[in-house]
Amino acid sequence: MVYAVTRRLLSLPALLFRSDISKEAELLVLRHENAVLRRQVPRVRYEPADRLWLAALSSLLPRRWAKIFPISPATLLTWHRKLVARKWDYSRRRRSGRPPTAAAVKALVLRMAANNPAWGHRRIHGELTRLGHKIAASTVWNILNQAGIDPAPRRSGPTWKQFLTAQAEHIVAVDFLHVDTVNLKRIYALVLLEHRSRRTHLLGVTANPTGEWTVQAARNFLMDTDTTNITFLIRDRAGQFTDAFDTAFADASLRVLKSPPQAPKANAHCERMIGTLRRELLDRMLILNERHRRRTLTRYLEHYNGARPHRGLGQLSPSQAETGPPAPADLASHRVHHKPLLGGLVNEYQIAS
């Protein structure tokens, strides 16, 4: 009975205002459906598109908000605040903390520390600033610390390699070279190498290298050589190098440096020169006696000092390093003379004049 009356009352305006009544009825149906859904679903989750649509329609319904909208005005304002915060949020565009230091800068800091053991992190920081690179001193400290390098000055004393490189023009080195003759008699030769020029001197050849003989060989060298520019003499701890030997060089204002025991790298240049003598000469021929040994070494050292190229001198011979490199020559238009030495074991080549 109630339903019939209600239906008749609603149908009367529908006949008068067909279009408006239909819309209102549709809205009433949707509103009632919304109320039913609210009772069944305690909490509705809205997607970003839903929030956008509801926010846009909210401005068209200033009245009856609570009856139509499933959200409150406070919720709508919260959505708006989050949208504004997301617009101005740059946290995803930047990394936390300081910007990373370029790999090239790290490599330069470590290279400066290796080349200059006396430089601390402040000194390296000043050098980078002088080069125009702006960096904090604490960053330099962190780079050194992470690489396991003490940021404080004088991390360690100069190594033998650093010492030899820095003082090469003032260093000479001596060492003994031995070879067995055809009758298995051992003969010794005392050689001296100038680090700066790579010139090698034969101080003597003997089968019995005593302390007295070594001292006399040193005195003969000092009498015939200008030692003004020589400061250091490197030798090993062989028994033939006595205190009298050191005194002879000390009287000529040379400081004798003893290499560590069983450390051939401490006298690397001299050891390499002796290795060259063995590879290019002594391992390729038989030595008959002491006289033969002296004559062979003397002839080879003339080649070694005057014609053999050295990588440490830019592929020039010691003589060319003193006078300057030769003028460029077109080998296609010049004849090259071949001169065999020591029975052809060694060869020299010269451009015909």
Is 35 part of any domain?
Answer: yes
**Domain contains 303:** yes
Is residue 164's pLDDT more than 60? yes
Within a domain: 344:
no
Q: What is the CATH number of the domain that holds 264?
A: 3.30.420.10
User: Domain residues for 141?
Assistant: 103-146
| More confident position, 83 or 238 | 238
What pairs with residue 33 in β-bridges? none
Report pLDDT for 348. 84
Any domain includes 338: no
Q: Do 129 and 30 share a domain, yes or no?
A: no
Start-end of H helices in the chain: 2-16, 18-40, 48-58, 65-68, 73-87, 103-115, 121-130, 137-146, 160-166, 211-224, 243-251, 268-280, 290-306, 318-323
Angstrom distance (rounded) from CA 20 to CA 38:
27
How far does the chain reach from its first CA to its final CA, in angstroms? 138
Whether residues 289 and 193 fall in one domain: yes
Q: Which amino acid is at 176?
A: F
> How far is the CA of 11 from the CAs of 14, 20, 27, 35, 74, in angstroms?
5, 12, 16, 24, 39
State residue 244's pLDDT score. Answer: 92
**pLDDT digit string, tens, across residues 175-224:** 999 899 988 899 999 999 998 888 999 999 999 999 999 999 999 999 88
How far is it, in rounded angstroms, from Cα 174 to Cα 346? Answer: 24
Residues 197 and 286 in one domain: yes
Please indicate, yes or no, whether residues 176 and 279 belong to a single structural domain of this protein: yes
CA dihedral for 61, 65, 67, 68, sign (positive or negative): positive
Residue 292 falls inside a structural domain: yes
Within this chain, do residues 33 and 72 fall inside the same structural domain, yes or no? no
In the chain, the number of structural domains is 4
pLDDT, tens digit (0-9, with 9 covering 90-100), for 32-56: 676 666 667 777 777 777 766 666 6
Phi, psi of 196 (to 5 degrees): -65, -50
Do residues 25 and 113 share a domain?
no
**Does one domain contain both 282 and 224?**
yes
The model's pLDDT over 246-302, given as tens digits with 9 standing for 90+, comes to: 999 999 888 998 988 888 888 888 899 999 999 988 888 888 899 999 999 999 999
Tokens of 327: 């003028």
> What pLDDT is attached to residue 153?
60
Same domain, 32 and 57: no
Helix (H) or strand (E) holding 233: strand 232-235
Q: Which residues contact 210 (CB under 8 A, 6 or more apart)?
A: 240
Tens digits of residue pLDDT in 46-99? 777 776 666 666 666 655 555 566 667 677 677 777 777 777 776 666 666 667
Is 264 within a domain? yes
Work out the average pLDDT over 140-155.
78
Same domain, 130 and 264: no
Checking if the pLDDT of 7 tops 50, the result is no
Q: In the structure, what pLDDT confidence band is assigned to residue 155 with cuts at 50, 70 and 90?
A: low
Which one, of 310, 326, 329, 330, lies nearest residue 318 by Cα? 310
In sequence order, which residues have a C-beta less than 8 Å from that of residue 77 and are 6 or more positions away? Answer: none
Same domain, 179 and 268: yes
Q: Is residue 348 part of a domain?
A: no
Same domain, 193 and 276: yes
Q: How far does CA 192 lie from the centroid of its chain?
A: 36
Which residue in the block uniquely carries the two structure tokens 């019939």?
Answer: 4
Task: Report yes or no on 301 lying in a domain.
Answer: yes
Q: Based on the domain organization, do 217 and 284 belong to the same domain?
A: yes
Instruction: Give CA separation, 162 vs 120, 151, 155, 170, in Å.
Output: 18, 20, 14, 14
